[in-house]
Structure 1
Amino acid sequence: MRASTAPNDRLQHLIAEAGISYEALARSVCHIAAENGDNRLRANKSSVAHWIAGTRPQPRTAGYLAEALSRRLARPLTPADLGLGSGNEPVYDPASLPPDAVAAVAHLGRADVDRRTLISGAAYSVAALVLPLQQPEIAARAHAARTRPTVTVGQGEIDAVRQMTAAFNAADERLGGGHARTAVVEYLTTDVTAYLRGTFATDALRRSMFAAAAQLSYLAGWKAHDLGLPGLAQRYYLHSYQLAAEADPHAHAAYGLRILAHQAMDLGRREHCVDLAGAALDRVKGRTDPDTESLFWLTAARAHATSGDNQQARSALSTAERLLDRSRGDAAPEWASLGGPAEARLANQSGKALQAMGDLTAAEDQLRRSARCWNPATHPRIHALTLADLAEIQCARGNVEAACQTWNTALDGMTGIRSARTRDAVTSMRAHLAVYRRRGLTTAQRLDNRASNLT
């Protein structure tokens, strides 16, 4: 912390407006830090008192504090709003999406590469979740981005971006989000943004390039998410949504809303998930193949289950199943195919929705089905994570020996993967096994010994 010369009246006023005690605010700040992968932060009511007295928290802590008060007051706030501004403000405003998506993603990517500590420490924002819902016209054509074209873009450039994205994605599946993340961002920030500012012979070519760029921005967000950088991931997802809306304001843009909902649910944030899932469904209905549309119904099912509405969740699951029964074997749109085999993803999301509804028997069946669909050679990370989820359900149902066997297989697939999600899965496994280790269960003790080198 750094000392200031005067009390922070602005912060004191906002805390009073929020009606929150110093102790509760400190707990919220620590919770948000942990949510963003920062488990070392320690704050208490004395810390808050010091901040009000004029002591300046570290920039990361200031970001967590701003998010804590944003959630309490139900409006977006930045550190500057709290009287904690500095020369290193975040490169984006959590209260709005910029009108020029091309400039915005280039700016974000450059800040990510050049000032990684600042940008990667950005807190995940609940307020930012509603930006696509509040600003449906935000992805209007980015005229300013195309006023000075420097390159003529054709199908060859579009194919190159798609091929590079597919190659980056394949490597990500095998090696984790920590592998080649900077290369993905550099390519997005340089070559791809230059193409987006270029000239196109037809509007169809322009839309195809924006679609390809949206996929790459999504991958940049996915890699950040996999590394435990949710705030940064959220921003790439938002820009992916903007770029997708330039290409297709209906189905492809809906996929951007879908991933925002899934990230929120993965982080345990229930706010706005039902609204995002519903908005995505409204855009995609009847505009894509049945298999792909079923993904959106499953998102809605999981969102309703997470919010406690089991009736709506089961209705959405039934609709997804009916769509699968109507499957014609059509090829999925390219923006939907990078995530892997449709059946594997559908079974995975069904399992999570059923788990949220408390139907562990059905959830176990679906996750086992999903695990069988993933090829551990090409998708070791998701195969291992699915097995870890399956093992937790087996453990919760009292099948500890089976759970240990499943966890052992999951650990086989985690070797060499740079991923915060796999590390979190191992940490969760060890927590579940703790009671059985203390009881002297040999299988649990051996498994924990094996896992101790992976956390």
Structure 2
Amino acid sequence: MKTPNTKLSGWLQRADLSNKALARAVKAAAHGAGHVHISCDGSSVGRWLRGEQPRRPLPEIIADVISAEVGYRVTSYELGLGESRAEDRSLLYSRSYEVTVETVSDLGRADVDRRRFLAVAPFAAVAATGPSRDWLLATLDQQPEPGPRVRLEDVTAVKNMFSEFQKIDIFQGGGSGRLILAAYMNVHVYPLLRRPQTDDVRQALCEAAAEQTYLLGWMAYDNGEHGTAQRYLIQSLRLAQESRNVPLGAHVLAGMADQATLLGHPDEGLRLAQSGRHGLRGSSAAALADLWALEGRALAAMGDKRSAISAVAQSEAAAEQIRADDEPEWALFIDPAYLHGEHAMTLRDVGDHTAAAEHAKRSIDHARQQKRARRGALSQAALASTHLQRRDLDQAYAAGLRTLSLAGKVKSSRAIEAVADLQNRMEPFGRNRLVADFAERARLLTAA
């Protein structure tokens, strides 16, 4: 005789969902994710409540639906629907350091061994609510498992590798070398987290692991693998907390904010950026400038022109205080090429095409000097869109060609998406030969 699933019934009450309402939502979510063969009704939910275990991927879909209803992440395990997968557990911000170590290790293995399956894991907008709150509030002091001691020399080796992989991301795009970094983390870094360390070594090791885990998430984000990226970023945030490195935690929240806004959740992006800024308390001018810039991006996407322009001004003021020698290595990309590029997109989105063009040009000049093709492509696309706002198709086409050229030099879905966005912005010009030519060139780039 099956045991009734009291966990699921409790969550249905908390989410204020009837059996039929849950069935309709699960069916819609399943079909939206491409599982068109899945069908369920109120009777199906009744069987689940009586103890029947639905087959995969239904447990994860049910968890997604209920998470959306209650406003924070709920796993299939919490619903009484079986053990959560690595990609589901990695959306949770555990209070336990040991659980975090196991979770991030499982995530790394899933990334390498089951990459195709993990790559389609969904981005969950509500999953960041708990982590950003807990990062601000929590203080933990867990003891590591026994084994050979980790030395500071081991941590130094990890930090040296971060520098090399960050260069690959900046100059070649997130799709270049990410799986090599994941394999390196699985073999050389995550195992260190299980070994005992002195307090100072443990703090340094968690900081190094958080930096590299963030980079894994950022590279996945740049390569369009948003579900994977989100999971790495959440675990990076937890490791940053363990390291007691507040600027690094704020930096991770900036990445989470950037992703949320890009994926159409600017309200969540705004909240994440503000959480990072409030937690930062002015301890890194570069991180502060970045968080203000991303707050501006979110506000612009929400249509709040006045606040967005104010955020850009705050970002510029913080940027004036940046002293590169005083900033950590992970913050070195937060420079004029990056900040002017972000401001260009913010101001473009609020309709100030003159100021947007000026910022875009300054970003382009810096990116050209540094040979940063991805940043150059993003800023050329922003410049092209400001020309379109002025109805200057010739100048937009010229900047669009430069965008295509630079986008072809890196493996970055964001650069390709910038091309696609520019193509959409050209559509109001109809059958113009420049529009047709750009569309064909964009098609060839996407195919390549």
User: 1:375-395, CA deviations, whole angstroms, 9 ceiling, x for partnerless residues?
Assistant: 377422222122223323322
Distance of aligned partners of 1:404 and 1:67 in 2 relative to their CA distance in 1, 3 Å threshold = farther
Q: Which shows bigger deviation, 254-263 or 408-417?
A: 408-417
Distance of aligned partners of 1:77 and 1:209 in 2 relative to their CA distance in 1, 3 Å threshold = closer
Contact residue 343 and residue 370 of structure 1 kept, 8 A: yes
Alignment-mate amino acid for residue 299 of structure 1: L
Distance of aligned partners of 1:260 and 1:315 in 2 relative to their CA distance in 1, 3 Å threshold = same
Contact residue 426 and residue 454 of structure 1 kept, 8 A: no
Corresponding residue for residue 179 of structure 1: 176
Alignment-mate amino acid for residue 228 of structure 1: G
Corresponding residue for residue 3 of structure 1: none
Corresponding residue for residue 224 of structure 1: 220
| Secondary structure, counterpart of 1:148 in structure 2 | coil
Distance of aligned partners of 1:29 and 1:348 in 2 relative to their CA distance in 1, 3 Å threshold = farther
| Secondary structure, counterpart of 2:383 in structure 1 | helix
C-alpha distance in 2 between matches for 1:332 and 1:422: 27
Corresponding residue for residue 262 of structure 2: 266
Corresponding residue for residue 169 of structure 1: 166
Alignment-mate amino acid for residue 253 of structure 1: G
Corresponding residue for residue 118 of structure 1: 117
Contact residue 108 and residue 185 of structure 2 kept, 8 A: yes
Alignment-mate amino acid for residue 162 of structure 1: K
Distance of aligned partners of 1:22 and 1:195 in 2 relative to their CA distance in 1, 3 Å threshold = closer
Alignment-mate amino acid for residue 118 of structure 2: I
* Matching residue within 142, 145, 148 for 1:147: 145
| Secondary structure, counterpart of 1:453 in structure 2 | helix
Give 1:27 shift: 6.4
Distance of aligned partners of 1:410 and 1:350 in 2 relative to their CA distance in 1, 3 Å threshold = same
Unmatched tracts of structure 1, length 5 or more: 1-8, 34-40
Give 1:61 shift: 7.8
Q: Which shows bigger deviation, 236-245 or 102-111?
A: 102-111
Contact residue 90 and residue 104 of structure 2 kept, 8 A: no
The reply to whether residue 244 of structure 1 matches residue 202 of structure 2 is no
Give 1:186 shift: 1.5
TM-score by length of 1: 0.80
C-alpha distance in 2 between matches for 1:257 and 1:242: 11
Q: Which shows bigger deviation, 299-308 or 162-171?
A: 299-308
C-alpha distance in 2 between matches for 1:238 and 1:304: 23
Distance of aligned partners of 1:328 and 1:250 in 2 relative to their CA distance in 1, 3 Å threshold = closer
Write out aligned runs for 1:373-388 (5 A): 373-375=366-368, 378-388=371-381
Corresponding residue for residue 330 of structure 2: 335
Alignment-mate amino acid for residue 448 of structure 1: A
Contact residue 19 and residue 42 of structure 2 kept, 8 A: no
Contact residue 99 and residue 139 of structure 1 kept, 8 A: no
Distance of aligned partners of 1:326 and 1:81 in 2 relative to their CA distance in 1, 3 Å threshold = closer
C-alpha distance in 2 between matches for 1:375 and 1:449: 26
Distance of aligned partners of 1:12 and 1:417 in 2 relative to their CA distance in 1, 3 Å threshold = same
Give 1:83 shift: 8.7
| Secondary structure, counterpart of 2:444 in structure 1 | coil
User: 1:148-200, CA deviations, whole angstroms, 9 ceiling, x for partnerless residues?
Assistant: 1324312x333321221221222233333222222111111221123334455
Contact residue 75 and residue 89 of structure 2 kept, 8 A: no
Write out aligned runs for 1:16-415 (5 A): 16-17=17-18, 33=33, 41=34, 63=60, 66-78=63-75, 90-92=87-89, 94=91, 96-97=93-94, 99-100=96-97, 101-136=100-135, 140-143=140-143, 146-154=144-152, 156-200=153-197, 203-288=199-284, 290-327=285-322, 330-337=325-332, 340-375=333-368, 378-415=371-408
| Secondary structure, counterpart of 1:403 in structure 2 | helix
Contact residue 29 and residue 68 of structure 1 kept, 8 A: no
Q: Which shows bigger deviation, 296-305 or 445-454?
A: 296-305
C-alpha distance in 1 between matches for 2:19 and 2:343: 38
* Matching residue within 427, 442, 447 for 2:433: 442
| RMSD, matched Cα | 3.7
C-alpha distance in 2 between matches for 1:304 and 1:395: 22
Alignment-mate amino acid for residue 148 of structure 2: T
Alignment-mate amino acid for residue 242 of structure 1: R
Aligned length: 429
Unmatched tracts of structure 2, length 5 or more: 1-7, 48-52
Corresponding residue for residue 424 of structure 1: 417
Q: Which shows bigger deviation, 172-181 or 234-243?
A: 172-181
C-alpha distance in 2 between matches for 1:30 and 1:218: 32
| Secondary structure, counterpart of 1:452 in structure 2 | helix
Identity of aligned residues (%): 26
